[in-house]
Amino acid sequence: MKSPNWNRIVIKVGSALIAPERNGCSSHYLLSVASFIVRCRRQGIQVVLVSSGSVAAGSHLFRKSKNTSGHDKKAMAAAGQTEMMATWDRLFDFSSAQILLTDEDLRDRERFVNIRNTIDSLLENDILPIVNENDTITTDRVKVGDNDNLSAMVATSVQADTLIICSDIDGLFDSNPQLNANASLISEVRDINEQVYAMAGGATSAVGTGGMRTKIEAAEKAVSHGVTTYIVNGFDQRSFDMLIQGKNPGTLFHPHQTPLQESKHWVRHTTKALGEIVVDDEFSLSPKQSVDSLSSSDLIDVVGEFSVGDVVLLRTDSGEKIAKAKTNYSSCLLDFVAQQGDASLNQKIDGTPKPILSNKFSAIMEAQ
């Protein structure tokens, strides 16, 4: 029997598998997932589990209402998280650890690195990391929004070689299989383009928040970092049997031959731009140039408020996105320079050791 050539994998399990009836956690579908994780660990494969489901697991403890508030959902997450962790803990005879994250944790470079170091330490001590978004404290400003994309961010953070995203269907189809009986499964994808996104459609589960589109977004993040990605049917035990045999039970997304450098991948796919630096439409970066060639004389406007070290979008006045990068200066100072257009001010900025934008933490937007 062929075994998969994995060293470290991330597997994402959604709410529909955790609490399919929204009546607390159920081990019905989780037994297959747990068995798969156990078999992987026996083969020396390190596993990180990204598990949604805290809101779905805790919702049955609250009075039913058609207009559930955001605060109610946060309370459901708080109650359901302990039930979900207890359920996973019962399925394993080894230790697990809870890691709750927000988007803010991922987009802050120091915290991002700390996440990796913590998970590395857990794995080195044979402890299973179980990751979820911290739904009890998230706001729209610091919310990833779905655990598909969170799983891709975690996979790139911990340098996994494979990401497995569990769905409620077999994988990506050329049309909605619930509406079209002749829909065909796409077994392999080598280039995630607009055509692939067009096939993704919307959500098929009434329990989870992520649909097929978010899974494609996650796959795009992962493969650009060299992470092989699968979308498989988590409700079918045969999916896990095939995976452990080195077979493809769903849709396989091939990793890029030349992955993005880790720091550039973090800027492009994990961070959010907190503001914009606007340059003239004629401004461009040649293949040999980098964002640190940007001069204060190129600035024509600054949008939003940001501080030193925040990630911003560099774009033209007509809206063309050029790059994302860490800024070495605040919006206040850059806006002052852009509005004044004073040569002496230009010299004050350009004369410092630091350029306006950091080349190390940057990503050209055309570099998919």
Helix (H) or strand (E) holding 191: none
By CB neighbour count within 10 A (0-12 exposed, 13-18 middle, 19+ buried), where does 110 fall? Answer: exposed
Is pLDDT at 209 greater than 70 in this prediction? no
User: What is the model's pTM?
Assistant: 0.83
Report the pLDDT value the prediction gives residue 208, as an integer from 0 to 100. Answer: 41
Q: Cα separation of 168 and 204, whole Å?
A: 8
The dihedral of CA 150, 152, 154, 156: what is its sign? negative
Report the pLDDT value the prediction gives residue 295, as an integer from 0 to 100. Answer: 84
Cβ neighbours of residue 135 closer than 8 Å, sequence gap 6 or more? 54, 55, 73, 74, 77, 81
Three-state SS string over 228-288 comes to EEEEEECCCHHHHHHHHCCCCCCEEECCCCCCCCHHHHHHHHHCCCCCEEEECCCCCCCCC
Q: Cα separation of 250 and 75, whole Å?
A: 35
Percentage of the chain beyond pLDDT 70 is: 88
Question: Per-residue pLDDT tens for 14-55?
Answer: 988 998 887 888 889 999 999 999 999 999 999 999 998 888
Partners of 357 in the β-ladder: 327
User: How sure is the predictor about 292, in pLDDT bands with cuts at 50, 70 and 90?
Assistant: confident
User: How sure is the predictor about 206, in pLDDT bands with cuts at 50, 70 and 90?
Assistant: very low
Report the pLDDT value the prediction gives residue 94, as an integer from 0 to 100. Answer: 96
More confident residue, 16 or 165: 165
CB 47 within 8 Å of CB 37: yes
Whole-number average pLDDT of the chain: 87
Three-state SS string over 57-111 comes to HHHHHCCCCCCCCHHHHHHHHHHHHHHHHHHHHHHCCCCEEEEEECHHHHHCHHH
Report the pLDDT value the prediction gives residue 23, as an integer from 0 to 100. Answer: 80
Question: Per-residue pLDDT tens for 255-287?
Answer: 998 888 888 888 888 888 999 999 988 888 776
CB 316 within 8 Å of CB 300: no
Report the pLDDT value the prediction gives residue 353, as an integer from 0 to 100. Answer: 64
Pairing mode of beta strands 46-51, 8-13: parallel
Question: Per-residue pLDDT tens for 93-149?
Answer: 999 999 999 888 888 888 989 999 999 999 999 999 999 998 777 665 545 668 899
Partners of 199 in the β-ladder: none
Report the pLDDT value the prediction gives residue 307, as an integer from 0 to 100. Answer: 93
Helix (H) or strand (E) holding 14: none
338: Cα separation from own chain's centroid:
34
Report the pLDDT value the prediction gives residue 311, as an integer from 0 to 100. Answer: 93
What count of Cα atoms within 13 Å lies in the side-chain half-sphere of residue 172? 27
Domains and CATH numbers, the chain: 8-265 (3.40.1160.10), 273-364 (2.30.130.10)
